[in-house]
């Protein structure tokens, strides 16, 4: 994709304005709903959260005191391994319950229950495939966990609404599951060099670890393919909504995307002339909405950490010409915990031409 020589400005309508207006969050509910929340009604989720907290404590104590009995009840083999697993799950439930009942704003603890529910469903899924399990009992247990998961998500959404009023930057949005990412880094290269490299979207998989490919279809549109939790992939088409050379690239996904998203990258001279400050802002709706975001975090796919790591690798590519990886990221089997003597070289390109050590093209 060639670098744009003239700014391309497109207006994405009212939806984009709500999401992309810097520093402005999407409103989670209107004034009437906020009044109901402030009146302490059931809409704020506190009553449901307390009930779930007591449920967690009761279930946790049962799993700790009678792990084999719980295992037989849900249809799995009551051996030593299952006993130890049940005790571990019981401690998790007990911790969540105490956190919900003792914290004035227990939204985080309720969302942690959703992550625990995802773990329980994964364990029950494995039990369903086992020849030693009672399939009918496992099915009933799975249905019960699904029901509790729905209640946990409802309580988490209501608590998030009442505590934030307009959604959250670190947890899924109350109604739409919107996740907000905001990261900044300084790179020792000029704004022109940094913008030019980034604007060639085919360079992005070089440093974006979860991005498998970007295929440019025309001067405004491109096709993206990214890794998702549990070994799956997602794809979507994106279009540039604003392009100011050496200053800003803004984009949005087009209709029917697997992952609806809006975002922008700003390039500005760093203080004291020490390179370029890069600010990435992204809002997206993860697959599965609020529950999908929690499951992603359970699998270690926390979005802010993803982008922070991507920017760190981008800095290495621009300043060193390669991504320096630890030994652990190269070898699959057991190995000494030490840096690799041969860093993985990913030569950067500008408009398809490799970049030399001085930052120019060869």
Q: pLDDT (tens digit, 9 = 90+) per residue, 50-61?
A: 999 999 999 999
Cβ 243 vs Cβ 260: under 8 Å:
no
Whether 137 and 59 share a structural domain = yes
Whether 189 and 320 share a structural domain = yes
Whether 310 and 257 share a structural domain = yes
**CB count in 10 Å sphere of residue 257:** 17
CA distance 177 to 287: 9
Whether 191 and 315 share a structural domain = yes
Q: What Rg do the C-alpha atoms of the chain give, in angstroms?
A: 24
Q: What is the pLDDT of residue 180?
A: 82
SS3 182: strand
Whether 115 and 213 share a structural domain = no
Cβ 172 vs Cβ 290: under 8 Å:
yes
Q: What is the pLDDT of residue 23?
A: 41
Q: How many CA atoms lie within 13 A of 60 on its CB side?
A: 19
pLDDT at 344 over 60: no
Whether 185 and 82 share a structural domain = no
Q: What is the mean pLDDT of residues 116-141?
A: 91
Q: What is the pLDDT of residue 294?
A: 54
CA distance 268 to 277: 5
Backbone angles phi, psi at 215, to 5 degrees: -110, 115
Whether 223 and 181 share a structural domain = yes
Residue owning tokens 């991005």: 211
pLDDT band at 109 (very low <50, low <70, confident <90, very high): confident
pLDDT at 241 over 60: yes
pLDDT at 8 over 50: no
Q: pLDDT (tens digit, 9 = 90+) per residue, 257-282?
A: 777 888 999 999 998 888 999 999 98
% of the chain surpassing 70 pLDDT: 67
H helix intervals, 103-190: 107-129, 135-164
Q: What is the pLDDT of residue 31?
A: 41
* Most confident among 31-35, 99-103, 139-143, 329-333 (mean pLDDT): 139-143
Looking at residue 206, what DSSP letter applies?
G
Q: What is the pLDDT of residue 288?
A: 53
CA distance 334 to 325: 17
Cβ 145 vs Cβ 250: under 8 Å:
no
Domain count along the chain: 2
CA distance 218 to 107: 44
Least confident of 187-191, 192-196, 270-274, 287-291: 287-291
Residue 230 lies in a domain: yes
Q: pLDDT (tens digit, 9 = 90+) per residue, 282-318?
A: 887 765 555 555 555 545 556 778 889 999 999 999 9
Cβ 134 vs Cβ 103: under 8 Å:
no
Q: What is the pLDDT of residue 22?
A: 41
Whether 150 and 181 share a structural domain = no
Residue 288 lies in a domain: yes
pLDDT band at 240 (very low <50, low <70, confident <90, very high): very high
Q: What is the pLDDT of residue 357?
A: 47
The angle formed by the CA atoms of residues 286, 289 and 294, to the nearest 5 degrees, is: 80
Q: What is the pLDDT of residue 329?
A: 42
Confidence (pTM):
0.47
Least confident of 4-8, 139-143, 219-223: 4-8
Q: What is the pLDDT of residue 289?
A: 54
SS3 285: coil
Cβ 276 vs Cβ 319: under 8 Å:
no
Residue 11 lies in a domain: no
Residues near 211 by beta carbon (within 8 Å), at least 6 away in sequence: 204, 205, 224, 225, 226, 227
pLDDT at 338 over 60: no
Residues near 94 by beta carbon (within 8 Å), at least 6 away in sequence: 56, 57, 60, 61, 64
Whether 143 and 197 share a structural domain = no
**CB count in 10 Å sphere of residue 178:** 25
Looking at residue 90, what DSSP letter applies?
H
Whether 205 and 145 share a structural domain = no
CATH of the domain at 231: 3.30.530.20
Of residues 205 and 327, which shows the higher confidence score? 205
Task: Look at residues 164, 188, 215 and tell me which one is the last residue of a structural domain.
Answer: 164
Q: Is the C-alpha dihedral spanning 349, 352, 356, 359 positive or negative? A: negative
Domain that holds residue 280: 176-324+342-352
């Amino acid at each position: 994709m060639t670098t744009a020589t003239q700014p391309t400005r497109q207006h994405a309508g009212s939806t984009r304005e709500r999401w992309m207006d810097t520093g402005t969050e999407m409103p989670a509910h209107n004034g009437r709903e906020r009044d109901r929340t402030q009146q302490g009604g059931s809409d704020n989720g506190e009553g449901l959260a307390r009930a779930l907290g007591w449920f967690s404590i009761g279930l946790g104590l049962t799993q700790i005191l009678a792990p084999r009995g719980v295992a037989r009840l849900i249809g799995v083999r009551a051996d030593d391994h299952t006993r130890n697993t049940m005790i571990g799950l019981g401690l998790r439930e007990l911790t969540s319950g105490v956190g919900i009942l003792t914290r004035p704003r227990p939204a985080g603890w309720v969302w942690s229950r959703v992550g625990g529910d995802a773990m329980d469903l994964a364990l029950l899924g494995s039990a369903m495939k086992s020849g030693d399990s009672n399939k009918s009992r496992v099915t009933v247990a799975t249905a019960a966990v699904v029901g509790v998961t729905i209640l946990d998500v409802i309580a988490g959404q209501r608590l998030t609404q009442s505590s934030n009023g307009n959604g959250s930057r670190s947890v899924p949005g109350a109604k739409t599951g919107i996740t907000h990412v905001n990261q900044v880094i300084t790179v020792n290269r000029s704004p022109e060099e940094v913008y030019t490299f980034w604007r060639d979207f085919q360079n992005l998989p070089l440093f974006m670890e979860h991005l498998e490919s970007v295929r440019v279809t025309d001067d405004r549109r491109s096709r993206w393919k990214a890794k998702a939790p549990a070994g799956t992939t997602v794809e979507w088409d994106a279009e540039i909504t604003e392009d100011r050379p050496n200053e800003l690239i803004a984009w949005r996904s087009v209709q029917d995307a697997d992952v609806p998203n809006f975002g922008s990258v700003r390039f500005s001279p760093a203080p004291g002339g020490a390179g370029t400050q890069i600010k990435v802002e992204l809002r997206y709706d993860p697959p599965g909405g609020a529950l999908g975001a929690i499951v992603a975090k359970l699998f270690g796919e926390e979005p802010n950490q993803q982008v922070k790591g991507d920017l760190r690798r981008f800095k290495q590519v621009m300043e060193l010409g390669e991504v320096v990886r630890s030994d652990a990221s190269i070898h699959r089997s057991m190995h000494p915990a030490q840096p690799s003597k041969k860093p993985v070289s990913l030569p950067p390109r500008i408009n398809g031409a490799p970049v030399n050590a001085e930052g120019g093209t060869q």
